[in-house]
Amino acid sequence: MRYHRIAFALCALFGMPLAAQDRDQPDRTIDAAERRTVIDGVIDRLKEAYVFPDTANAMARALRARQRHGEYDRITSAQAFADSLTAHLQAVSHDRHLRVRYVARGVPPGPGGDGPSPEDRAQARLFGQRINFGFERVERLAGNVGYLEIRSFGFDTADVSSVAATAFTFLGNTDALIIDVRRNGGGSPHMVAQVSSYLFGPDSVHLNSLYWRPDNRTDDFFTRSKVPGTRYGPDKPVYLLTSRNTFSGAEEFAYNLQSLKRATIVGDTTGGGAHPGGPRRVTQYFAVWVPSGRAINPITKTNWERVGVRPDIAVASDQALRTAHLAALRRLRQLASDPERQEALDRAIADVERDRH
């Protein structure tokens, strides 16, 4: 199994930039001709598709100026060159999605030169199965509070369907729910909408819109009127855990629910990446992740780019679960009318308060 190739297929399909696996691949030596070709190709891809044309032009001017001044002349490492270009592009755009990637095994050509091949799609599905399509943990906490950890929204909704149905059916009888996306780096708006649908009623709710510059097109995303398994519904309290590593599609999930007042966000301010896109092939060994769209929330008319999603309850991310659990228990205690239930919640609150770990 070629993990790096699978990861590239996943990011091409679902909008997830490649991450730490870049460091695990062998480096190679590059010469002046290859550096020129990569710079030319990166600039072309940005001018073709970057969401803000003026910013694309500004990035092109910045790279050309550095090129003229000889800043890249001594770089012979492919990985170091990709890192340098990424840093220089982000210095202008401040866009954390935008990255130049060196791919030692070669950039998959795919349909039209930019997407994954059928083999890559099949391998991506197999990879998804091995990590349960992002659903990491589901359990019932003290006081009948549900807990669900989702580490990725980066999978096809057809593949996710049975896993999501099982998770939410298990959680269906809990009185409040904590969803943990502290280690979630993003994914597909389709999976975000799929999971969000469990937290509302059958009436369609407008979650988000994405404007795509290359096609001058806007796609709207809504909750689903029908979901497999048990719908959690619109009324029970929901708490969402975030960290500084919560990024992209996971931020959309948090931002949507916060804007709709469907969840209380607990934790750190998130990473600040609201420009979706995909990898575009530059050469056999280099690709650039081009953010070609931008999120437009139907309520705020803006998004979380650069600023992140600010929590309703700000707390260090390693304390977010305990904080959210206590908030949920106290909310349930306020709502409880049965004396036996009140006593059980009082005991649960005391137990969680004593547990500082």
State residue 119's pLDDT score. 79
Tokens 């404007």 sit at which residue?
A: 211
Does residue 71 share a domain with residue 162?
A: no
- CA gap 235, 264 in Å, rounded: 13
- CA gap 77, 102 in Å, rounded: 10
118 pLDDT band, cuts 50/70/90, is: confident
Tell me whether residue 138 is in a domain: yes
State residue 23's pLDDT score. 65
pTM, 2 dp: 0.91
Crossing angle of the two packed helices 189-196 and 157-171, in degrees rounded to 10: 30
Identify the CA nearest to 112 among candidates 280, 276, 277. Answer: 280
Tell me whether residue 288 is in a domain: no
Give the 3-state secondary structure of 129-183: HHCHHHEEEEEEECCCEEEEEECCECCCHHHHHHHHHHHHHHHCCCCEEEEECCC
Tell me whether residue 287 is in a domain: no
340 pLDDT band, cuts 50/70/90, is: very high
Q: Which residues in 199-346 belong to E strands, given as ranges?
A: 206-212, 217-222, 238-242, 264-267, 277-281, 286-291, 293-296, 313-314
Does residue 105 share a domain with residue 28?
A: yes
Does residue 111 share a domain with residue 205?
A: no
State residue 276's pLDDT score. 94
Output the average pLDDT for the chain: 92
C-alpha dihedral sign at 271, 272, 276, 279: negative
Identify the CA nearest to 25 among candidates 11, 9, 8. Answer: 8
Total domains in the chain come to 2
Does residue 152 share a domain with residue 261?
A: yes
What average pLDDT does range 137-156 have in this prediction? 97
Tell me whether residue 284 is in a domain: no
15 pLDDT band, cuts 50/70/90, is: very low
What average pLDDT does range 185-213 have in this prediction? 97
Domain boundary among 96, 124, 152: 124
CATH of the domain at 337: 3.90.226.10
Does residue 192 share a domain with residue 99?
A: no
Residue 114 clears pLDDT 70, i.e. is over it: no
- CA gap 351, 293 in Å, rounded: 47
Does residue 300 share a domain with residue 158?
A: yes
What average pLDDT does range 183-197 have in this prediction? 97
124 pLDDT band, cuts 50/70/90, is: confident
pLDDT of 47-106, one tens digit each?
Answer: 999 999 999 999 999 999 999 999 999 999 999 999 999 999 999 999 999 999 999 999
Does residue 58 share a domain with residue 190?
A: no
pLDDT of 269-325, one tens digit each?
Answer: 999 999 999 999 999 999 999 999 999 999 999 999 999 999 999 999 999 999 999
Domain boundary among 124, 146, 174: 124
Does residue 180 share a domain with residue 74?
A: no
Does residue 327 share a domain with residue 210?
A: yes
Run of H or E residues at 102: strand 99-102
Does residue 108 share a domain with residue 197?
A: no
- CA gap 85, 193 in Å, rounded: 34
pLDDT of 228-263, one tens digit each?
Answer: 999 999 999 999 999 999 999 999 999 999 999 999
Distances (CA, A) of 232 to 108, 153, 172, 275, 324: 40, 19, 6, 30, 18
Bridge partners (DSSP) listed for residue 1 = none
Tell me whether residue 282 is in a domain: no
What average pLDDT does range 194-221 have in this prediction? 97
Pairing relation of β-strands 206-212 and 217-222?
Answer: antiparallel
State residue 83's pLDDT score. 97
Tell me whether residue 141 is in a domain: yes
pLDDT of 20-43, one tens digit each?
Answer: 446 679 999 999 999 999 999 999
Does residue 340 share a domain with residue 255?
A: yes
Run of H or E residues at 101: strand 99-102
State residue 9's pLDDT score. 44
6 pLDDT band, cuts 50/70/90, is: very low
User: Token digits for 184?
Assistant: 């979630």
What average pLDDT does range 8-26 have in this prediction? 53
Run of H or E residues at 123: helix 118-130
Does residue 315 share a domain with residue 215?
A: yes
Residue 112 clears pLDDT 80, i.e. is over it: no
Tell me whether residue 335 is in a domain: yes
Domain boundary among 124, 158, 185: 124
User: Token digits for 40?
Assistant: 């030319």
Tell me whether residue 286 is in a domain: no
Domain that holds residue 39: 3-124
